[in-house]
Structures are given as C-alpha cells and as structure tokens.
A and B are shown apart, each in its own frame.
Chain A
Amino acid sequence: MANAVEKVSGIAIADIEKIIGRTDDNIEKISGLEFAGVTEAHTLISTSTASNATSIDISSGIDSTYDVFIFDFINLNAATDNTQFQFQVNATDGADYNDSAITSTHFAAYQDEPSEGTGTSLYYDASRDAKQSTSFIPLEHYVGNGADESISGRMWLFAPSSGTYVKHWMAQFSENAQQNAAYNTWVAGYINDTTAIDDIRFKMASGNLDGVIKMYGIAK
C-alpha cells in the first residue's frame, strides 16, 4: 500500500475495511493516489472562472480518458441584460466552433415572482431547439445582468471521443431570469459528428459573462 493517502472522510486507512463493497485487495487508487484500491469515480478535471470574459473555452481534458463528462455551471451572470447562454464544440478536425451540426430539444417551466404576476407554464420552446444547426445552441434564455441574477445547472456529454457514434448531451438549469421569474430548463440533443470532440465553448449570445464552470470526468 505505497501511497500518500492517510484518511478518507476522516477515517484512517487502517480502519477502512471496504469501499463500495470492495476490499483493499482490489482497490487501486483514491483521487489518483495509489492505494491498492478504487479508481476515481468522479474526477475534477478543470475549473474555469470567468470575470467579464467573452467566453469560457475548455480545450484540454476532453478525450477518451472518460466516457462521460459533467459540467457544473455555478452562478453565471451576464454583462448584457436579457441574453442567451449557449455552447458549441470543435471536433478534432475543426477550430472555429462552426462545423458540427447539432439537433436538440428544449423545454422549460417557469413561475413569475409575485411582483411580476402569477404566470406559470410548462412548454416546448420551438424557437430555441436546433435542427442540424452549426450555430451556437441555446442552453438558457432571458439571462439577466442584475446583481443577484444568475443561472446554475449541469450538463452531461457522453462519449465525446467516439469515432463511431454521434455525441449525446443533456443539460438542466435553474435561472433567476431577467424579468424576475424562476425558469427550470431542460435541453438535450446530439452533435451529429462522428469525429471525436475535443473543445467546447460556452458564451452569452451578447456581451460578456462572469461565473464558474467545473468539468468532471466519470470513470469508465
């Protein structure tokens, strides 16, 4: 057991008998440190922090190491009021975020704050889905620039390094929208490209953004 790990969640290594049902005879790593145990199940690959940035580009770490990638979006705030948060990708043979066609669905539920009315709805948004679009794809709309207005959520990207299949993705957001309403938005689709994807760009449709995006890999 050659390693630098001394405790896991406050428990001394010597006192741990099993992790997720596995004994220390077949555990190999914890957080990348050799143990004689588990390989990392959920690994933080990168943290991107934007401060009045035009975009957040993640151009390393998306490869065949993992089959599933998770992006956590934490309090993204727009510089321009009432804009749209969106993304596109580059395949390994592309560079300008405009070559990979995406087809997607987009639906949302909303509720107004009491000061704005009593509106609620669940609806499909045909103006923000995509049909073989190589433009940036909307993930959330009505993003505000108020001091406490932001969006938070999560996106999954499946098997981006596949050379056989299109690349599936799903996203969900909670938003404090610019018109003082709560939006719960669900977007999913596939990148209709069988070449491996290795870059992803997130940006607002207009103006800059603040916020944090963390990218995780899920062990195969």
Chain B
Amino acid sequence: MALTLIDTDTASTSATLGFTSGIDDTYPVYEFHYVGIHPATDNTEFQFQVETGSDSDYDHPMITTYFQAHNDESGGSPTVAYSTGDDQATAGDTNGVFQTLAKDVGAGEADQSTSGILTLYDPSSAYVKHFISTSNCYQGGDTSVQTFVSGYINITTAITRVQFKMSSGNIDAGTIKMYGVG
C-alpha cells in the first residue's frame, strides 16, 4: 500500500491537534486528511504551522498564496478570487504565523465544518518545504467555499512537527489522519 496511515488525532474540545512524531525521511510526501473540523467559535480560521526538532514555538516563515471560490446557499454572486490577508510572506526564523487553510468555519450549526487535504513535500530535505492544500468549508454565512492554499516553509532544516488549530477557541470535533506516501 503506497498510502500508509501513520497516526490519527481526534478532537474533543481540543486547543490544538497535531503530530510530534512520525515526520521524518521515511516518506518523501506526507498527506494530512482533516475531516469534519468543527470549531467551538463561529467564523474562525482553521490553521497550521510546523516545527523542527523538539521545539514547540510553531513560528517558521512561510511564503504562501491563498485563493478561493465561494457560492451562497441562497444563490448570490459566486466568485473565485485571490484573498490578500489570508496569505503570508513572513521572514526571519521565528516570525512566521499560523497559515489559514479554511476561513470563517461555521460553528453556529451542528452540521457546519471544514474538510480537506494538506500535502507536505519532503519535510526532511535541504530544500524549502513545499505544501499544497485544498479544503471545502461550510461557512457560518451558509456558504460553500473551496479554498486553495499553497506555498513553502522558508527553512532548510528538517520539519518534524505539524500543529493545527483554530484562530480562536477550540476544535470541538474532527479528525486528522497523517499518511505517508511512497
């Protein structure tokens, strides 16, 4: 099987979800499947950051792009557009911030959530670390939003940890599975 389940982290009113082991040079590609991420706070952002070694600051610089397509349940005016402000261009080893993968995730209704896949390439390499994610989100405003986020973590040190959280409040429910591809 080329897609190997390494670990699962399940939310239960959790401040963060993540993985602090299993990310090494065993696989050239890692996939994180986040399923049914339901925040405690309405209209908050689902985000991720990384760390090296056994550090726990989660603050590495990233250069990212962020665009999304959205359509309201009521019709409205569907669009696809770049979203300045949800990307980042941070510099300096400890000046990065958590990168949003899906924004305005709904919590007001029990069936609102976001799901998607984050692919991380060659986290142990001496290159910068590329990632690509695609999510779909049921936003608090009853809108379906498909989000495309991509970029690189601008460090050449091996990444060993990945953490996910909401921009505010806990993750009430949801599961993240980490797979090795190769």
Report A's interface with B, CB cutoff 8 A: 9, 30-31, 40-44, 72, 74-75, 77, 109-115, 118, 120-122, 147-154, 172-176, 181-184, 186, 212, 214, 216
What chain A residues lie within 8 Å of B12 (beta carbons)?
none
Shortest Cβ distance from B132 into A: residue: A174
Report B's interface with A, CB cutoff 8 A: 1-5, 28-29, 63-67, 80-82, 84, 87, 89-91, 119, 121-122, 125-128, 130-132, 148-152, 154, 156, 181-182
Distance (whole angstroms) from the CB of A26 to the closest CB of chain B:
17
What chain B residues lie within 8 Å of A147 (beta carbons)?
126
Inter-chain pairs besides A176-B128, A183-B65, 18 sampled, C-beta below 8 Å: A40-B2, A41-B1, A41-B3, A44-B182, A72-B182, A109-B150, A111-B64, A121-B82, A122-B65, A122-B80, A150-B130, A152-B121, A173-B132, A173-B150, A182-B150, A182-B151, A184-B150, A214-B28
**Chief secondary structure at chain B's binding surface:** strand
Q: Which of A74, A75, A112, A152 has the most CB of B within 10 A?
A: A152
Given contact pairs A111-B87, A148-B128, A214 touches B5 in the complex (Cβ within 8 A): no
Given contact pairs A111-B87, A176-B152, A122 touches B81 in the complex (Cβ within 8 A): yes
Q: How far is the CA of A195 from the CA of B20 in the complex (A)?
A: 48
| Partner of B65 from A9, A43, A115, A120 at Cβ < 8 Å | A120
A to B CB contacts below 8 Å, 25 in the list: A30-B1, A40-B1, A72-B28, A72-B182, A75-B122, A75-B125, A75-B127, A75-B130, A109-B66, A109-B67, A109-B150, A111-B87, A114-B91, A120-B87, A150-B127, A151-B130, A153-B130, A153-B132, A172-B150, A181-B63, A183-B65, A184-B148, A184-B149, A214-B28, A214-B29
Given contact pairs A113-B154, A184-B150, A120 touches B84 in the complex (Cβ within 8 A): yes
Distance (whole angstroms) from the CB of A156 to the closest CB of chain B:
13
Given contact pairs A122-B81, A174-B132, A42 touches B3 in the complex (Cβ within 8 A): yes
Q: How far is the CA of A153 from the CA of B134 in the complex (A)?
A: 13
